Amino acid sequence: MEKLALPNRRWCYIYRMKLSIRPLLFATVILLGACAPSRPTAVSAPSYPWFPFEWYTTNIKGKEYKAAIFVPIKIQGLPANFAAQFDLGSDATVLYGDALKNYFATRAQLYALLDTTRGGMNDSGIRNYPTTGLPVSFGTTQVPQPLLMAGYGDEVPADSLYTKSRKLVGTIGGDFVADKVLVIDYPQQRMCVLDSVDAHWQAKTTFVTSQVRNNRMHIPLTIGPRTYWVLFDTGSSLFTLTTDEQTWRGITRPGGVTDTLAVNSWGKQVAFYAAPTQSAVYLGAHQLPPASAWFTRDQRQLEFLKAAKIDGLTGNAFFQNDVIVLDFKRKRFGVVR
């Protein structure tokens, strides 16, 4: 739930003096008042179009993890309680065909809202189609033509279509951030999309230069003597830093793997292996929390790193206590001080 903290205000009270007060005392009060320094007036932060998000948590090996970010969404013509995973590692917003199919009387009715002449396939082998009548909105932002992934997602039973429970029906990717600014307030669990960085955020934020390709932001992390370019991926909530095995061995402490996790990645179980980094991790001059680095031998993950020309992935874990500003327009990434 969004909470707005009102600034403390100091109020000045003017007391009317009785007419019987002696003129000399009255003059003295006026002079003292004129000499008193003026008190600064508290300035409220501008109002922003915040929209909320929720953490999806899961228990792994007896430990609670923040595994994903879910954002409430609306789909035109379907008045149900929907949510989508917030995943800036994806360059496009997608809806899940199996999760939505029971909201339509027939398969033909759903497919009438797709452009089946322009079907494609993602790197997991799942077929997708552009939509022509299923715009997705969250906050004040709308994605007019998300993709639909055929045969993907958890089917919603007919008797649960319009119940109060939240239905996960898609993924919000990076197609809405082109030439925009995204502010993520992790402590307050809210975000907003802006046209530019205003004076308020400029004064409060320390930026580093980033790279933007295919609606994805790459940021520089320095570990020891070297800087690594990594994708900032909000779909990667479990891991502070993920890379290939060779890079992993160069940045972690001797002694080998200290932890192992198997996670779901687009319907496939993928194993990841961890060890603490041997040096502190920096974003510019900002030291990030102590971290473990992870690697995987999954070929699809490794091919993605190679194709994107990046050294690895980072995500929410480093910044869960921060407010961050992603300026896609000016290609910079900032942490609010």
Whether 18 shows a pLDDT value over 80: the answer reads: no
Average pLDDT over residues 306-333: 97
Cβ-proximal residues to 8 (8 Å cutoff; 6+ apart), any chain: 42
57/217 Cα distance (integer angstroms): 25
Cβ–Cβ under 8 Å, residues 144 and 76: no
Per domain, the residue ranges of the chain are 51-176, 181-336
What is the predicted pLDDT for the residue at 8? 37
Phi-psi region of 151 (alpha: psi -120 to 50; beta: other; left: phi over 0): left
Given this chain, do its domains 51-176 and 181-336 carry the same CATH topology?
A: yes
More confident of the two residues 60 and 10: 60
Average pLDDT over residues 81-108: 97
Average pLDDT over residues 154-167: 97
265/269 Cα distance (integer angstroms): 6
**pTM exceeds 0.95, yes or no:** no
End-to-end CA distance of the chain: 23
Q: From residue 53, how far is each of 35, 39, 101, 116, 185 by CA, in Å?
A: 50, 38, 25, 32, 10
Whether 23 shows a pLDDT value over 70: the answer reads: no
301/137 Cα distance (integer angstroms): 30
* CA 228 to the chain's CA centroid: 21
User: Tens of pLDDT along 97-125?
Assistant: 999 999 999 999 999 999 999 999 887 78
What average pLDDT is seen over the chain? 88
What is the predicted pLDDT for the residue at 218? 98
CATH number of 51-176: 2.40.70
What is the predicted pLDDT for the residue at 30? 36
What is the side-by-side strand order in the sheet with 181-185?
A: 51-52, 190-194, 181-185, 323-327, 332-336, 205-209
What is the predicted pLDDT for the residue at 39? 52
User: Tens of pLDDT along 39-68?
Assistant: 544 456 789 999 999 999 998 888 898 999
Burial class, 78, CB count within 10 angstroms (exposed 0-12 / middle 13-18 / buried 19+): middle
Average pLDDT over residues 235-263: 94
> In the chain, what percentage of residues exceed pLDDT 70?
87
Whether 32 shows a pLDDT value over 50: the answer reads: no
User: Tens of pLDDT along 125-139?
Assistant: 889 999 999 999 999
- The answer as to CATH 2.40.70.10 being correct for domain 181-336 is yes
What is the predicted pLDDT for the residue at 264? 80
The residue whose two tokens read 């690697």 is 295
